[in-house]
Amino acid sequence: MTEQVVRDSVEIGLTRIRLNRSFGQGSVSDAAIKLARENNITVIPGGCSMMFVEPLNIAHKCRRWFTGLTGRLPKEV
């Protein structure tokens, strides 16, 4: 399913995508990341988009702090 979303992103010309992950695997897959990279799309794999918008609610603020503390805050690849 995620690979299809990446193919659709390629088709419409997106250059950046975020693959969401809360707990567990979420929408992140190695195949989707590889497909995006092969098509020059910047990928941010994991995390929740709500951790990066202002104003942060307390739940997402805590989640962002904790994932940063543990070194798992997603970065562009």
Domain 2-69 has CATH 3.90.25: yes
- Per-residue pLDDT at 2: 87
Read off the pTM. Answer: 0.69
Q: What does the DSSP assignment read for 2-31?
A: HHHHHHHHHHHT--EEEE--SSSSTT--HH
Domain residue spans of the chain = 2-69
Q: Are strands 42-45 and 16-19 parallel, antiparallel or unpaired?
A: parallel
pLDDT tens figures, 10-34 = 999 999 998 887 666 667 889 999 9
C-alpha–C-alpha distance, residues 40 and 53, integer Å:
25
Beta strands per DSSP E along 1-77: 16-19, 42-45
